[in-house]
Amino acid sequence: MTATFDTDRMAAVIYGSEKLASRRREISAAVSRIPELHDSRPLPFMDRLEKVTEMTRKLAALNKHLPDIIDPNDYEEGLHLYHEVMGMEGHPLALHEVMFIPGLIGQGSDEQYEKWLGRARRREIIGCYAQTELGHGSNLRSLETTASYDPSTREFIIHTPQITALKWWPGALGKSSNYAIVVANLIIRDRNLGPHPFMVQLRDEETHRPLQGITVGDIGPKMAFNGGDNGFLGFDNYRIPLGNLLNRHARVEEDGIYVKPPHAKVGHSAMIRVRSHMATGQAWLLAHSLIIAVRYSAVRRQGFLEDKTREVKILDYQTQQYRLFPSIARAYAFIFCGFETIRLYDQLILDVNKHGNTSGMADLHALTSGLKSVVTYQTGEGIEQARMACGGHGYSMASYISEIYGVAIGGCTYEGENMVMLLQLARYLVKSVELIKNGKSKELGPMVAYLAEPDTQEKTPLELKDYVKLFQMMSKRQSWKATERYLKLVEGGVSRDVAWNKTAVELTRASRLHTRLYIMETFIRRVSSIEDMNLRMVLRDLVNVHVNYELLDCGIYLHDVSLLDSIKNQLYSSLHSLRPNALSLLDSFQFSDIQLRSVLGRRDGHVYENLFEWAKSSPLNVSDVLPSVDRYLRPMMEKAKL
């Protein structure tokens, strides 16, 4: 089937500009010409140590070739080059770029930039972000690592009081990093001032051996990210200079006077940054799995429809389309709302760092808390459907989908466990409803203004604005229902914390609906703004799939469920309309075969030949008879014959 649009033009929409889309193609082509930058053999055949070694080898090779391929100052080009060469299984610089440098920029003073930023950017030092502990991840107020100020030497003494205080999980901490931003409780004269970020050297810059007072290592294999070295870290009264408290916002004077930051949570900026970028990151993972599944579905033939002389492509089955197409729509929706969220984050950082204005922090915290939770969960769902859509071959590592799944669902946990983050957004929604109840609707932010709208009669949606209206109504009702349930318990004498817990499931439902509404609205807004009519029409088909699917999926929140029948019909017809463009919508992401690392999803479509070659290359097939057969199996069978 031929598509009705040009994938290069769609790539420009996906990546935000024609220039970046074309630079991405050039970068992929450049990488394809440099064998040193390719995996030396398929990653699924490697054990953990080989993977870590391979990632480190490629990283060093990449560092060497990088200036010939990209403008080192261009962040987007760098990101693409990394994805292409390093893939998604982790590497020694994984946290250096994502949290260490941004953490230093967000929390460090100009003087501290002078000291560490240039060195970090040149990769003279490698850093990570060490916050989570063995005993606590979500509840930051219970972190146990301490940084006690000693005015006599003008030093902080960093200490791990017990095993639960060991830092645990930080990416690239175990074996690669020689520096870390360590989040520890600042203690001055026995007063605990809460978690603060400190720059800490962990290893000798010459020998890479841990410094005296530091215990550091790798935490072992994980569901994914096994090319990376997530680590543990302990401190035994380890001293660092006063100047190592990252002090753009909070300061300690030499005599121990504490100068507090303009907002209590301004130190969380590195987390907010990653959360703001997660929608686009997850969209990219979802699209990876979908292109594998859709390419395969366009080749695989199984069973018959009308024509009994030729089996049908499995992509023509309505169930296959229902399984895959709503996720294509979500991948696009996540990209577009992700871009909008990143813009909001960039604006906030400018406001905070340049103008000391922290007024937008609560809004962005609420938004990104909900967004990271919904997007990671739905991405996991979509990838798992993509795997099942490939039948048995999806289950093989040749598809690479299980690796993509493992990486993606890590996002449900890191940067704030999803339930915990949904409950953060819920606090914001409850406060908003309380404002309305107290006659202060004017104080509502624009994203929650709909919570004050009166209920109207539900009617079959015909235009996109009708879908938005219905979704707003469902979301509003759920926020009110959860708030009223919570307030009723409080009014009945239940403590706020217990009442909150007794309402928590309803509260998370409200957060999900609010977030799904945001995703839907940004998707519609972006598509409506596209000038190229041809592209806009295709994306409009995708929006149709999205709005109908989302509404059906949330149908239990409607009062009049009879509406669902017409929505179902609209969904089935929009799936059918999308079929000719489904593959090209994913080809528009322009992932190279090198980047995809999927034998099943290669561009050439020679699925069966490629699978056979892959199987033959399995290390188990190096000899016809394995030593384990000689050692155990044959003697067992021989014995049975006696």
Ligand X SMILES: CCCCCCCCCC/C=C\CCC/C=C/C(=O)SCCNC(=O)CCNC(=O)[C@H](O)C(C)(C)COP(=O)(O)OP(=O)(O)OC[C@H]1O[C@@H](n2cnc3c(N)ncnc32)[C@H](O)[C@@H]1OP(=O)(O)O
CB contact set of 622 (below 8 Å; sequence gap of 6+): none
**Beta carbon of residue 585, minimum distance to ligand X (angstroms, whole number):** 22
- Alpha helix segments (H runs only) across 300-417: 318-355, 361-389, 391-395, 401-413
If we measure between CA atoms, which residue out of 284, 417, 429, 278 comes closest to residue 366?
A: 429
CB contact set of 488 (below 8 Å; sequence gap of 6+): none
Vertex 275 angle, CA 274 and 278, to 5°: 85
Determine, following the binding rule CB under 6 A, whether residue 376 of this chain makes contact with ligand FAD.
no
Determine, following the binding rule CB under 6 A, whether residue 618 of this chain makes contact with ligand FAD.
no
Output 140 or 600, the one with its CB closest to ligand FAD: 140
Structure tokens at 243: 């100047």
CB contact set of 119 (below 8 Å; sequence gap of 6+): 125
Positions that interact with ligand X (CB under 6 A): 79, 98, 129, 131-132, 137-141, 171, 265, 268, 271-272, 274, 277-278, 281, 361-362, 365, 414-416, 420, 424, 427
* 140 interface partner picked from ligand FAD, ligand X, none, CB below 5 to 8 A per type: ligand X
Vertex 411 angle, CA 603 and 430, to 5°: 130
Strand partners, 218: 231
Strands in 231-235's sheet, in edge-to-edge order, are 167-168, 231-235, 214-218
If we measure between CA atoms, which residue out of 290, 249, 296, 254 comes closest to residue 269?
A: 249
The CA distance from 369 to 66, in Å, is 35
Burial class of residue 229 in the structure, from the number of CB atoms within 10 Å of its CB (0-12 exposed, 13-18 middle, 19+ buried) = buried
* 185 interface partner picked from ligand X, ligand FAD, none, CB below 5 to 8 A per type: none
Q: Give the per-residue contact string, 164-193, with ligand FAD (x = CB under 6 A; - = no).
A: -----xxx----------------------
Figure out which of the listed residues 105, 130, 294, 567 binds ligand FAD, where binding follows CB under 6 A.
Answer: 130
Output 508 or 598, the one with its CB closest to ligand FAD: 508
**Residues of the binding site for FAD:** 132, 171
**Beta carbon of residue 550, minimum distance to ligand FAD (angstroms, whole number):** 24
Q: CB–CB of 13/523 below 8 Å?
A: no
Strand partners, 210: 203
Q: For residue 230, report the phi and psi dihedrals to the nearest 5 degrees.
A: -60, 140
If we measure between CA atoms, which residue out of 600, 612, 621, 597 comes closest to residue 42?
A: 597
Q: Give the per-residue contact string, 138-157, with ligand FAD (x = CB under 6 A; - = no).
A: x-------------------
Catalytic residues: 415
Output 44 or 197, the one with its CB closest to ligand X: 197
Q: Give the per-residue contact string, 383-412, with ligand FAD (x = CB under 6 A; - = no).
A: ---------------------------x--
* 272 interface partner picked from ligand FAD, ligand X, none, CB below 5 to 8 A per type: ligand X
Cα distances (angstroms) measured from residue 107 to each of 121, 149, 189:
16, 19, 24
Determine, following the binding rule CB under 6 A, whether residue 417 of this chain makes contact with ligand FAD.
yes
* 278 interface partner picked from ligand FAD, ligand X, none, CB below 5 to 8 A per type: ligand X
Output 380 or 461, the one with its CB closest to ligand FAD: 380
Query: Which span sits near ligand FAD by CB under 6 A: 132-140, 360-368, 576-584, 633-641?
Result: 132-140
* 378 interface partner picked from ligand X, ligand FAD, none, CB below 5 to 8 A per type: none
* 130 interface partner picked from ligand X, ligand FAD, none, CB below 5 to 8 A per type: ligand FAD
Structure tokens at 250: 């909070």
Output 48 or 427, the one with its CB closest to ligand X: 427
**Beta carbon of residue 198, minimum distance to ligand X (angstroms, whole number):** 15
**Beta carbon of residue 360, minimum distance to ligand FAD (angstroms, whole number):** 23
Figure out which of the listed residues 342, 362, 420, 537 binds ligand FAD, where binding follows CB under 6 A.
Answer: 420
**Residues of the binding site:** 132, 171
- Contact residues for ligand FAD (CB under 6 A)? 95, 129-132, 136-138, 169-171, 225, 230, 410, 413-414, 416-417, 419-420, 423
